[in-house]
Structure 1
Amino acid sequence: MASRPLRPEDPRRLGDYRLLARLGAGGMGTVFLARDPQGRTVAVKAIRSEYADNEEFRARFRSEVDRARQVPPFCTAAVLDADPDHDTPYLVVEYVDGPSLQEVVEEHGSMPAGDLHGVAVGVAAALTAIHGAGVIHRDLKPGNVLLSVGLPKVIDFGISRALDITSRHTRTGHWMGTVDYMAPERLDPGFGAATHKADIFAWGAVIAFAGTGRTPFHGETDMATGAQILTKPPNLDGVPPSLADIVERALTKDPRRRPTANELVQQLLVVRAPKQARSLKLVRVPKPRPAPAPAPAPVVSRPAQRSAGRRSAGRFDPRDLIDEVSPDGPRRVIPTPSPRRSGLITPRRLIYALGTLLVGAVTVTTVTISQADRTDPANDLRVAPATASPTATTPLAQAGPAVSDSLRGPGRFRESSGPTGRCQFRDGRLRASVQGRATYQCVGPPESFAADQSISVSLELADDKACGMVWFRYTGERGYQVTACTEEIQLEELGSAVLNSIGKVQTKVLTPLTPHEVTIAVQAHHATVSVDGVPSLQGALANSDLAAGRVQLGVTNTSSPAASEVSFADFRVLVG
């Protein structure tokens, strides 16, 4: 369908962005197709004047944009730029080519099980990224899921909160957002506060709609639909058996019983994806034109954009595909191209990509050390200080091949002891032991490592109560840590007072009294944890303040009052 031309009252520029056409309009403002200073296609959302005049809205908009820009740009439309202080506040996001999930289902009916499984994984992965940055989507619906090349893309996350500034924006019987996908707690505070678990409920409703062609709670009016959500079980007839249980758990009315986004990804990746029964023609998209040469941009993440070229027969041009959108975001219907120019979203491709990028991506689960834990030495899970400590001076971050230590004797690591544990060399290995429920860190290399790096070590658990620890990008008492136990591997962000779980997988690949090679590959903002060469867990490293730091080894025991030990050998760090 043809794009809608700019209206006479529409601006022709917003900041550095030249507006080309209308993509649509919604409750928050108008979305325009635009060109950035480098000639790349972007989507610009201009805020309505009635909100622009409200200073409280501008303040909230500024805060929400700052949060949204921290969301890693996988399975989401990246937030590229914003100007909350412009006469017309605006937001710039990645332009995504592809129809919305709403359009696919309306035109072709319910998705086959194989395609549905791939979309379920992709949207859950997007939520892990969104929630990991401290953002709640608040308006997840099929119209905000675009089926792009290779991965679904979730749009319009987090910004809607800025609209909730005064009660005049809503009235009795009306809600901000689409009622069909709202969690009970968003309709009735008696169910609790609306948190990231509201997005999980919306995920379940979106997947149920995609798999059946109808919403799981259907009423003739918004009020009737809301009543169904509050009082009735979901109608999941027609949802493939491979997904029915997971969707049902997501639609539980008690938000405390719903899984996190990270848990959704983990559960979906262990479910066998159904075979593809048929293909969705509308999901086929043209091969992108080559992007222009890279140019400086005002943000760190710069997704590839299609170049602005002259139209030619049989070639894709975004201006041919633009149509009115779902209330707040760009939605595009595209014609079916010839097979020679198409790429198909398949569950195999999607899950492979997510297995590479997102297995165990960021969650918002936060474990806070209670005051009782701090006062009871038996419950002290903080890193115990050693009597021998590294120098207080932190050397410059290393940017090349770095450390290799067999750990047969003192070298880059030294013997040390503390109130709850010790590190010593015995029988050709570095042995870290701890007494009771505590964590102890050995004294290791003082260098601070930056850039991409690969950390490997041979790790052996003395029993099933001990867990090996590897810290990286560790500065002071902050950094990232991997905990490897007999039945669980976990990746966490360590703050001064909290542990944020980035990813966790239950596995029995670590056998006590057996050496295992544990490798942590850090690439940009992602880490992959492998055991004996097999990837076990991945996560997003979202904290921009933790870009460099030391690598350390240690032991933890979280379940037994007895002594536990972990031994290490063949420690290496390669940077570059």
Structure 2
Amino acid sequence: MSTPLRPGDPATLGRYELAGRLGEGGMGTVFLGRGPDGRPVAIKMVRPELAYESEFRARFRSEVNRAKQVPPFSTAEVLDADPDHEPPYLVVEFVDGPSLAAEVREKGPLTGAALHSVAVGTATALTAIHSAGVIHRDLKPGNVLFARGGIKVIDFGIAQAFDATSQHTRTDQMVGTVAYMAPERFDPKDGRPVTAAADIFAWGAVVAYAATGRTPFAADSAPATAMRILTQPPDLTGLPQSLLGPVERALAKEPQDRPTARELLDLLLAGSVPGPVSPAPQSSPAPQSSPAEHAVPIPPEADTMMMVAATAAPEKPRRHRTRAAVAAGAAVLLVAAGVGAVLRYMGVAGGFDAAGDAPSTPASASATAKPGPAKSVTPEEKLKKIMTGKHRTLIHVVEIDRDFALEGRYSELEAKDGTGAKSEFALVPAGVDHLIRALYDPNGPEVCLGIRLIPNEAAKIVPTTCDTSEGTLFELFPTKRKDDQGRPTYYITSDRHGSLQWRADPGEFYVDHTGDAEPATTFSFVDRGPMPSPSPGR
């Protein structure tokens, strides 16, 4: 589903007329367009700052030429490109169908023929992509679409031009999505380049997600997920026996132990697969949520995601959800040939243990412990309890010294003096992001903050249901500044829609992209004590 063009968007690109926006990501903006024959197409316009680099244009041209050689079965066909246009753009087949991510989120895991269709269709797509000398680099459920006639894989072919350009090859950057990234991408050895084997690992994670509704290394934070990818076997509980062998082989830690795409496809079509390499840990499947009632229309995920590490120079907030690197406990620094990377999410996740959870005390220990003086809770511990949904919080708007306030289900978010239940919220973890739940009515239905899109205007913050969607998930991105009480400050951002900000005239909150500029509004969190039982924390 597309959204309207924004002020400043071009009306045309080359011979293509632009009709709306499909998405935005690390490389640029994806538009819904129409060719001279009226055929709908998806047009990826490269970010202007990349277009100025001659090396990027050269790599873009090379990658586009390769992508055009990919057979158009099980993939979105590359139709056209103009590397010399200002800015450059790529035109691909428009696939009018839901993504695998949306299908699983709204209807639950796939079974039977539908699941095997996804497994075979994505393996077929990778066979075609790899045979043309292309590596996808960001295979994930959002890039697998259900089209008329079968599965279509999108967004392949030009990620390497972005990843390998001189300005974008620092050791603290890469292209990908953490939950589907192969171990070697976090810990490269001897400067070896990414190979097609990384796509095979992503295939295994995608099929496991399709079958179970969760990723095989799922954890409460991106750092914990990355650590599990590096050190733990996958949790494949619920995967049908017919797919267990291929998926386990695809998720092997070492690239050379994974099958090629062709071998993978042969295994699936033959219906005879080797037994598991090693037993997967067994645990109860994650509960499935009910179909989401989205606060905003959700366009397909349309671009690769740039990940930037905390060890880099101070960065402006980005709209790219995943970042490269790993932290566990306070932090774990991965070093390979003298090169390390640490997730930007350390500012939020640094207090988690290796599994991404807050430390707990065994029941046996609490039963035998002798009473002692009450231990004071440090500000860091309070913040961790807020971030994990265990404590209530005021959300303080630093620049105007006011706090979030929501009077009721049909009120807009306001800035008030921080008194009463209307100003109390819970930050409910949802993967690497958070739902922001209002607590003004503990006995009423759950209400969370969501984003309402308004044509030709900045998006607004409104109350909505607490379903996880791109309209209700917010990233808490730490800044290096503190408020006047010494509390850490954060930007609150939406991966798709931009940063949450305050506008003094007419006095309202809104969400919009800030480009290369830092958002003008920062937020801190004021502890208001434990949540009532049961807590909304997950």
TM-score (norm 2): 0.50
Q: Does the C-alpha gap of structure 1 residues 227 and 170 become closer, same or farther in structure 2, counting only changes over 3 Å? A: farther
Number of the residue aligned with 1:328? 303
Please give the secondary structure, in 2, of the residue aligned with 1:180. helix
Please give the secondary structure, in 1, of the residue aligned with 2:189. helix
Report how far residue 184 of structure 1 moved: 1.1
Number of the residue aligned with 2:267? 267
Deviation sequence 1:240-270 (CA, Å, 0-9, x none): 1110111000000111111111111111112
Structure 2 unmatched ranges of 5 or more: 274-295, 305-538
Please give the secondary structure, in 2, of the residue aligned with 1:105. helix
Query: For 1:2-401, what aligned pairs fall within 5 Å after superposition?
Result: 3-165=2-164, 169=168, 175-190=174-189, 193-271=193-271, 323-328=298-303
CA contact (8 A) 2:179 2:218 kept: yes
Aligned equivalents of 1:169 and 1:224: distance in 2?
A: 25
Aligned equivalents of 1:213 and 1:124: distance in 2?
A: 19
Q: Which has the higher contact order (CA 8 A, sep 6+)?
A: 1
Aligned equivalents of 1:16 and 1:247: distance in 2?
A: 43
Report how far residue 164 of structure 1 moved: 1.6
Structure 1 unmatched ranges of 5 or more: 274-320, 330-576
CA contact (8 A) 1:64 1:162 kept: yes
Q: Does the C-alpha gap of structure 1 residues 4 and 20 become closer, same or farther in structure 2, counting only changes over 3 Å? A: same
Aligned equivalents of 1:22 and 1:115: distance in 2?
A: 30
Number of the residue aligned with 1:403? none
CA contact (8 A) 1:113 1:211 kept: no
Letter in 2 for 1:57: F
Aligned equivalents of 1:251 and 1:187: distance in 2?
A: 15
The alignment of Structure 1 onto Structure 2 pairs a total of residues equal to 281
CA contact (8 A) 2:42 2:93 kept: yes
Aligned equivalents of 2:99 and 2:122: distance in 1?
A: 12
Number of the residue aligned with 2:358? none
Deviation sequence 1:108-166 (CA, Å, 0-9, x none): 11111321111100000001100000101011000000011121000011211111245
CA contact (8 A) 2:59 2:161 kept: yes
CA contact (8 A) 2:56 2:165 kept: no
Which stretch of structure 1 is more off in the superposition, 222-231 or 185-194? 185-194
Report how far residue 54 of structure 1 moved: 1.3
Larger of the two Rg values belongs to structure: 1
Aligned equivalents of 1:40 and 1:50: distance in 2?
A: 30
Q: Does the C-alpha gap of structure 1 residues 246 and 196 become closer, same or farther in structure 2, counting only changes over 3 Å? A: same
Please give the secondary structure, in 2, of the residue aligned with 1:164. helix
Aligned equivalents of 2:57 and 2:165: distance in 1?
A: 13
CA contact (8 A) 1:25 1:325 kept: no
Q: Does the C-alpha gap of structure 1 residues 37 and 68 become closer, same or farther in structure 2, counting only changes over 3 Å? A: same
Aligned equivalents of 1:185 and 1:69: distance in 2?
A: 28
Deviation sequence 1:441-464 (CA, Å, 0-9, x none): xxxxxxxxxxxxxxxxxxxxxxxx
Aligned equivalents of 1:76 and 1:228: distance in 2?
A: 30
CA contact (8 A) 1:23 1:322 kept: no
Q: Does the C-alpha gap of structure 1 residues 173 and 110 become closer, same or farther in structure 2, counting only changes over 3 Å? A: farther
Report how far residue 80 of structure 1 moved: 0.3
Q: Does the C-alpha gap of structure 1 residues 41 and 327 become closer, same or farther in structure 2, counting only changes over 3 Å? A: closer
Letter in 1 for 2:126: L
Report how far residue 190 of structure 1 moved: 2.8
Deviation sequence 1:465-510 (CA, Å, 0-9, x none): xxxxxxxxxxxxxxxxxxxxxxxxxxxxxxxxxxxxxxxxxxxxxx
Query: For 1:502-517, what aligned pairs fall within 5 Å after superposition?
Result: none
Q: Does the C-alpha gap of structure 1 residues 174 and 55 become closer, same or farther in structure 2, counting only changes over 3 Å? A: closer
Please give the secondary structure, in 2, of the residue aligned with 1:70. coil
Aligned equivalents of 2:155 and 2:198: distance in 1?
A: 15
Aligned equivalents of 1:105 and 1:5: distance in 2?
A: 26
Q: Does the C-alpha gap of structure 1 residues 136 and 166 become closer, same or farther in structure 2, counting only changes over 3 Å? A: closer
CA contact (8 A) 1:56 1:165 kept: no
CA contact (8 A) 2:143 2:302 kept: no
Letter in 1 for 2:197: K
Report how far residue 174 of structure 1 moved: 5.7
Number of the residue aligned with 1:382? none
Which stretch of structure 1 is more off in the superposition, 187-196 or 74-83? 187-196
Q: Does the C-alpha gap of structure 1 residues 168 and 10 become closer, same or farther in structure 2, counting only changes over 3 Å? A: same
Letter in 1 for 2:43: V
Deviation sequence 1:252-300 (CA, Å, 0-9, x none): 0111111111111111112289xxxxxxxxxxxxxxxxxxxxxxxxxxx
Report how far residue 79 of structure 1 moved: 0.3
Report how far residue 173 of structure 1 moved: 6.4
Please give the secondary structure, in 1, of the residue aligned with 2:31. strand
Q: Percent identity?
A: 62
Please give the secondary structure, in 2, of the residue aligned with 1:22. strand
Q: Does the C-alpha gap of structure 1 residues 251 and 143 become closer, same or farther in structure 2, counting only changes over 3 Å? A: same
Report how far residue 220 of structure 1 moved: 2.5
Aligned equivalents of 2:80 and 2:172: distance in 1?
A: 35
Aligned equivalents of 2:164 and 2:272: distance in 1?
A: 44
Please give the secondary structure, in 2, of the residue aligned with 1:189. coil
Aligned equivalents of 2:93 and 2:302: distance in 1?
A: 18
Report how far residue 38 of structure 1 moved: 1.3
Number of the residue aligned with 1:495? none
CA contact (8 A) 1:142 1:206 kept: yes
Aligned equivalents of 1:137 and 1:146: distance in 2?
A: 15
Query: For 1:438-477, what aligned pairs fall within 5 Å after superposition?
Result: none
Deviation sequence 1:80-102 (CA, Å, 0-9, x none): 00001101100000011110001
Report how far residue 169 of structure 1 moved: 4.0
TM-score (norm 1): 0.47
Aligned equivalents of 1:36 and 1:77: distance in 2?
A: 16
CA contact (8 A) 1:17 1:35 kept: yes
Aligned equivalents of 1:189 and 1:139: distance in 2?
A: 17
Aligned equivalents of 1:213 and 1:203: distance in 2?
A: 15
Letter in 1 for 2:144: V
Please give the secondary structure, in 1, of the residue aligned with 2:175. coil
CA contact (8 A) 2:22 2:32 kept: yes
Please give the secondary structure, in 2, of the residue aligned with 1:228. helix
CA contact (8 A) 1:217 1:229 kept: yes
Q: Does the C-alpha gap of structure 1 residues 13 and 91 become closer, same or farther in structure 2, counting only changes over 3 Å? A: same
Aligned equivalents of 2:297 and 2:272: distance in 1?
A: 36
Aligned equivalents of 1:66 and 1:193: distance in 2?
A: 20
Aligned equivalents of 1:195 and 1:166: distance in 2?
A: 17
Letter in 2 for 1:75: S
CA contact (8 A) 1:27 1:328 kept: yes
Letter in 2 for 1:61: F
Please give the secondary structure, in 1, of the residue aligned with 2:91. strand
Q: Does the C-alpha gap of structure 1 residues 163 and 174 become closer, same or farther in structure 2, counting only changes over 3 Å? A: closer
Deviation sequence 1:225-253 (CA, Å, 0-9, x none): 11111111111011111101110000001
Please give the secondary structure, in 2, of the residue aligned with 1:43. strand
CA RMSD of aligned residues (A): 2.1
Aligned equivalents of 2:257 and 2:267: distance in 1?
A: 15
Please give the secondary structure, in 1, of the residue aligned with 2:62. helix
Letter in 1 for 2:185: R
